[in-house]
């Protein structure tokens, strides 16, 4: 039996088409038939290349995580400053707002995949906090716990902004600035005024 061959770039085109759809839509709103038609192929090609719809969506989630984390790691590996920590929070929020479907996908996945990829989401913050402690800027608390706390509050803010607060109902930009200031302010070393 002879296996059907597909163009070399078909995998890449299918992932790109799925990524664009998932940027603003949930996985259940992705139609393999529509993706196949958009890419000039059949649903059989998708199953031959990926094995399942979930595998295609998992690949998109992996790529989204890389795109989301790349600029945050650049900040985490740069100069350890409070401004960089706050900029990381702003980057986090901006990416999530620009890619709401992909942001949600990174946390839920199509098939309830394991926790490891989601746990990696806190790594840039954790790394930055360790570097800030080494520089003597942060209070000597457990940096891993602080990272999880900052991540949880930022993630919670972003989810509230996307799902609860209607566009324009409150000034979310000002509220996020206050959130960052309060969150980061709690972990700074006290200023010696003596």
Q: Which two tokens stand for residue 113?
A: 């995949």
What's the full length of the chain, in residues?
A: 194
Residue 107: the pLDDT is 81
pLDDT at position 194 over 50? no
- Write down the pLDDT at residue 1: 45
Percent of the chain with pLDDT over 70: 90
Question: Quick check: 110 pLDDT over 80?
Answer: no
pLDDT per position as a tens digit, 10-50: 999 999 999 999 988 888 888 999 999 999 999 999 999 99
Task: Say if residue 189's pLDDT is above 70.
Answer: no
DSSP secondary structure string for all residues of 152-175? HHHHHHHHHHHHTS-TTSS-HHHH
Query: E strand or H helix at 181, and its extent?
Result: helix 172-185
The radius of gyration computed from the CA coordinates of the chain, to the nearest angstrom, equals: 20
Cβ atoms of 57 and 109 closer than 8 Å: yes
What does the pLDDT look like over 50-89, one tens digit per residue? 999 999 999 999 999 999 999 999 999 999 999 999 999 9
Q: Which two tokens stand for residue 123?
A: 């790594």
Mean pLDDT, all residues of the chain: 87
Report the largest interatomic distance among the alpha carbons of the chain, rounded to a whole angstrom: 84
Number of Cβ atoms within 10 Å of the Cβ of 45: 20
The second-level CATH assignment, the architecture, of 10-185 is: Orthogonal Bundle (1.10)
Q: Helix or strand or coil: residue 115?
A: coil
Cβ–Cβ under 8 Å, residues 69 and 27: no
Is the CB of residue 101 less than 8 Å from the CB of residue 156? no
**C-beta separation of 24 from 101 below 8 A:** yes
Confidence of residue 139 (pLDDT cuts 50, 70, 90): confident
Instruction: Quote the pLDDT of residue 119.
Output: 75
User: CB of 80 within 8 A of CB of 134?
Assistant: yes
Quick check: helix, strand or coil at residue 9?
Answer: coil
């Amino acid at each position: 039996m002879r296996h059907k061959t597909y163009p070399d770039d078909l995998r890449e085109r299918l992932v790109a088409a799925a990524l664009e759809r998932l940027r603003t839509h949930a996985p259940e709103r992705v139609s393999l038939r529509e993706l196949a038609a958009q890419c000039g192929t059949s649903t059989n090609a998708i199953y031959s290349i990926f094995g399942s719809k979930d595998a295609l969506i998992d690949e998109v989630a992996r790529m989204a995580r890389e795109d989301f984390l790349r600029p945050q790691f650049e900040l985490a590996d740069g100069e350890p400053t409070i401004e960089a920590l706050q900029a990381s929070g702003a980057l986090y929020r901006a990416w999530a707002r620009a890619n709401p479907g992909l942001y949600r996908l990174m946390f839920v996945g199509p098939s309830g995949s394991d926790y490891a990829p989601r746990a990696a989401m806190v790594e840039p913050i954790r790394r930055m906090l360790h570097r800030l402690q080494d520089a003597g800027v942060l209070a000597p608390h457990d940096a891993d716990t602080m990272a999880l706390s900052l991540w949880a509050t930022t993630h919670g803010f972003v989810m509230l902004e996307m799902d609860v607060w209607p566009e324009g109902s409150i000034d979310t930009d000002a509220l996020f600035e206050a959130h960052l200031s309060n969150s980061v302010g709690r972990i700074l070393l006290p200023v010696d005024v003596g």
